[in-house]
Structure 1
């Protein structure tokens, strides 16, 4: 398989209703990136802070403020007691506007 720019897209949904997405690039074989990311995803979810180095800034996210994280492409090799395999989304997530 030829080497190419590969990525994982993370969309972070915050408790306050806001969200943002990050593309994490790696100039290697896409299958290898997926395998490596799947190996560390559980450890990432246990970390209190995630740090994204962007071209113009560094973003630090306190995971306690996060309600949900979506990962694309999917991580089919992620298995365990707390993983629902062969799942299908039936309805989209409903979001309400946060007002103070």
Structure 2
């Protein structure tokens, strides 16, 4: 008899969602990154030019060219999404490592 009472008790309890519901208290305002207002790409391009004038290794030269192409796209775009801003952050970190490696 106690076995039959267990399922009845379980069905009488309120069912909860497995994931808690998110509640937003404030409006979300993510304007993103505005190129030339939040980020000075001109300075980044000058760093790239200085690096490209050095005797870079083949991999570093290819990486610098790839970054220059991507930064040109970002300059023309203007507003960057959060994913693009993260990519820009990764580019800056990589350029910083290259600058330290080659003593710029």
TM-score range normalised by the length of the shorter chain: under 0.3
- TM-score, normalised by the number of residues in structure 1: 0.24
- TM-score, normalised by the number of residues in structure 2: 0.23
Q: Compare the two structures and name the one with the higher strand fraction.
A: 1
Structure possessing the higher radius of gyration over alpha carbons: 2
